[in-house]
Structure 1
C-alpha cells in the first residue's frame, strides 16, 4: 500500500491547508523518484496525469514489480488552488505577497524557521524531494507545444530518454538561473541524477486522452530507469534542443486585440510576420504587425486574445543568441 505523506501548512487566513502526497515503496533496488504537479496552481494538466499514474503504481506495487520508490504530489500548491476571483483561478502568483509560486525556494530552504507560511510550504516541498534521484516538476504554458526545461548538466545524457518517452517537441537547455525555482533549488542543494521541468502543452490542454498519453510516457520512462520491472520501448526522439539564450521571446509593443497568423509548431523565417495587434478596433492606424526575430519554430502563444502591453506574445526556437536575452530565466 502507498504511504500517505500528506501534510498541512497554515493558510493566509490562519486556516490549515492540506497537501496530499503518496509514496510507493519498491524493493529498494531501483532509484528514488519524485513527481509533482501544480506548483503553479492554474496549470492543471499535470494534476490529471498523476491522477492517472497513481492507480497504475499501486497495482505495480501490489504485483511486486516496483523496484524503486516513487513519491507523487498531484496538487502541490494549496495556496493558489483557492485563489478564485470572479470565476477565474489566479494560481501563478501568491495573492497575499505577489510572489511567483515557483520562485525563491532557495531562500525558504535557507531559513531554519521559515518567516512566512508560504516559505514554510516551499521548504517542506523541497525537503520531501531532497533524497530523490529523479525529479520531475509538471507545468504548462499558456498555449504551447510539449517541451522540457532542463539544466545543461543533464542534457543529453540523462534527459534524452525523458524527451523521447514523452515525445516532446522542444528541449530548452538552461545553465544560469538565479530565480530559486523548485528545480534549481534541488540542483543546488541536493544531488539528483536528473531534475527537470516538464511543460505539458497549454493550460487548456486538459483531457483524459492527453493525460493518459503523458502517463504512458512517464511510465515508459520509469521502466527504462529501472523503477518498474517491465520492458518498455520508446521511439527515437525527433525534436529540437535549443539553448535558452537562443529562444526568442516576443513582447507585445502595445495593448490590443491579438491575432495570430501562425499556428503552434509552424516554422517561421527571420523577418516573417506571425501575428498582429489591433490597438483600437475600427482604427487601422493602431494596428501593428509582429515579425520573427530569427528563423525558428513557434513554441508558445499567449492564450488570451486581448493582450496587455509588455505581455509575452510568443516564444520561438532560434539558432543564435537572441538580441533580447540578458541571462536568467526564460519567463518573468
Structure 2
C-alpha cells in the first residue's frame, strides 16, 4: 500500500487542506478501480465503509492478491468536512461559492473530442488508451485550477480519470440502499447491486448538472455518439463505468453495516478479478429491478407544517397510497401526500418540519415521465 497526500490550493493565508489517497496493487498491471467516500461531506456511512474496506485491501495486498489497481480515497471532501454553521455540518455545498460539491464537473468529451476525433483506429484497446491519454493531458497541462474547490475537483479527476470502474460512496437522508448509474454502465454494475442488496437502482443517460460519476462515464458514450454521428466506424467501448452508491441514510453509521458493505465491495472486486480469490464469489439474487431515473417521483409538501410519515423507506407503494401527512397546528389542518407512481419509497427527508414545496421523499417508478435535469440540488 502507498499513501499519497495531495495539498489543495489554500483559500486564505496560513491554512491549507489535504486530500489523501491510498493505492493498492500495481498501476497498469490489470483493471483499475477507484473508490471514494463522502464527497458530500456530511454523508458519513461511506467513510466508515472505506475504513473497513481499507483493512480488507491491506490484507489482500499483503497476501499478493491485488491483480489490478485499487485507489481508495476515504475522505473525498476535506473542504466540506471542515464547514460547520451553528454546530451543524454543511458538507453538501461549498460555502465560498454556494456550489454543490458533486456538480459542475467538466464535460470531458467536449474537451478531448477535437484532440481524438481524427486519431481513432480499428483497435478498441488502442482507442481507449488514446482517450485516456488525452484526458490526462488536459488535466495535467490545460486545466489550471485557481480556487480551493476547483483544486479538489481537479485532484479527484486526476486520481480517477483512467479507472475502469469508479465507485462514489454517498448516502441519502433516510433511505434504503440504492444505486445511480448511467445506462451504458449498467451491464457491468448489475452484479454489484446484487452484492450490495440494493432496493432501488436508478438509470439515466445524462442526468444533468455534471456530477462527478457522470463526468467520468459520460465521456465514453458521448465520444462514441460523436464518432457515430461523424460516420466513423472506429470502436470505442465504455472505458469507464462509474456509479453513485447511496449507503442508506445519514444516521446508518455502524460497524455491522459498514463491514457488510465493505465485504460486498470486496466481493465485487473479486468478481472483477481485480483481487484474486480461491473461489469466485457467488452473486446473490437481485432485490429489485432497475428503473429509469426519469421515472422517480419526488414528493413535495403542498403547504408548510409538521411532517408525519405513514410510509417507511423501502416500502413498496401503489398509486394513491398515503406517504405522509403535513399538519398545520395553527389552522388545525392536515394535508395528505399520496404516491403518484407505484414503486419503492427509496428515500425520505430527516426533518419533520417542512416549508411549502419542500421535498419529502422519492419513489422509484418504472415508467419515465420526466425530462431535463433529473438531479436535485
TM range (shorter): over 0.9
Alignment-derived partner of residue 134 in structure 1 = 165
> What is the CA–CA distance in structure 1 between the aligned matches of 2:83 and 2:356, rounded to whole Å?
25
Partner secondary structure for residue 57 of structure 1: helix
> What is the CA–CA distance in structure 2 between the aligned matches of 1:188 and 1:116, rounded to whole Å?
25
Q: How many residues matched?
A: 326
Alignment-derived partner of residue 6 in structure 1 = 5
Measured after TM superposition, the shift of residue 268 of structure 1 is 1.8
Alignment-derived partner of residue 146 in structure 2 = 115
Q: Could you tell me whether the CA contact under 8 Å between 1:28 and 1:67 is conserved in 2?
A: no
The structure with more helix, counted as a fraction of residues: 2
Measured after TM superposition, the shift of residue 10 of structure 1 is 2.6
| Structure number, greater radius of gyration | 2
Provide Cα deviations, 1:141-172, integer angstroms capped at 9, x if missing partner: 111110110100012x2011111111111110
Measured after TM superposition, the shift of residue 273 of structure 1 is 1.7
Q: Which moved more, 1:226-235 or 1:73-82?
A: 226-235
1:182 paired with 2:212, answer: yes
Equivalences for 1:302-313 in 2 at 5 Å? Answer: 302-313=349-360
Partner secondary structure for residue 106 of structure 1: coil
Q: Could you tell me whether the CA contact under 8 Å between 2:208 and 2:375 is conserved in 1?
A: no
Alignment-derived partner of residue 208 in structure 1 = 255
Provide Cα deviations, 1:160-191, integer angstroms capped at 9, x if missing partner: 11111111111100112331111111123466
Q: TM-score, normalised by structure 1?
A: 0.93
Measured after TM superposition, the shift of residue 5 of structure 1 is 1.9
Q: Could you tell me whether the CA contact under 8 Å between 1:67 and 1:227 is conserved in 2?
A: yes
Q: Which moved more, 1:98-107 or 1:134-143?
A: 98-107
> What is the CA–CA distance in structure 1 between the aligned matches of 2:271 and 2:89, rounded to whole Å?
37
1:288 paired with 2:288, answer: no
Q: Which moved more, 1:225-234 or 1:187-196?
A: 187-196
Partner secondary structure for residue 158 of structure 1: helix
Measured after TM superposition, the shift of residue 306 of structure 1 is 1.1
Partner secondary structure for residue 50 of structure 2: helix
Q: Could you tell me whether the CA contact under 8 Å between 2:217 and 2:240 is conserved in 1?
A: no
Moved over 4 A (4+): 26-29, 107-111
1:269 paired with 2:318, answer: yes
Partner secondary structure for residue 330 of structure 1: coil
Q: TM-score, normalised by structure 2?
A: 0.82
Q: Could you tell me whether the CA contact under 8 Å between 1:176 and 1:327 is conserved in 2?
A: no
> What is the CA–CA distance in structure 2 between the aligned matches of 1:28 and 1:107, rounded to whole Å?
25
Q: Could you tell me whether the CA contact under 8 Å between 1:27 and 1:66 is conserved in 2?
A: no
1:48 paired with 2:48, answer: yes
Could you tell me which runs of 5 or more consecutive residues in structure 2 were left unpaired when the two chains were aligned: 109-137, 221-237
Q: CA RMSD in A?
A: 1.8
> What is the CA–CA distance in structure 2 between the aligned matches of 1:117 and 1:4, rounded to whole Å?
22
Alignment-derived partner of residue 202 in structure 2 = 172
Provide Cα deviations, 1:271-318, integer angstroms capped at 9, x if missing partner: 222101113x25323x21101112222111111111222222010021
Equivalences for 1:47-196 in 2 at 5 Å? Answer: 47-106=47-106, 112-155=143-186, 157-189=187-219, 192-196=239-243
Q: Which moved more, 1:175-184 or 1:160-169?
A: 175-184
Alignment-derived partner of residue 248 in structure 1 = 297
> What is the CA–CA distance in structure 2 between the aligned matches of 1:17 and 1:254, rounded to whole Å?
42
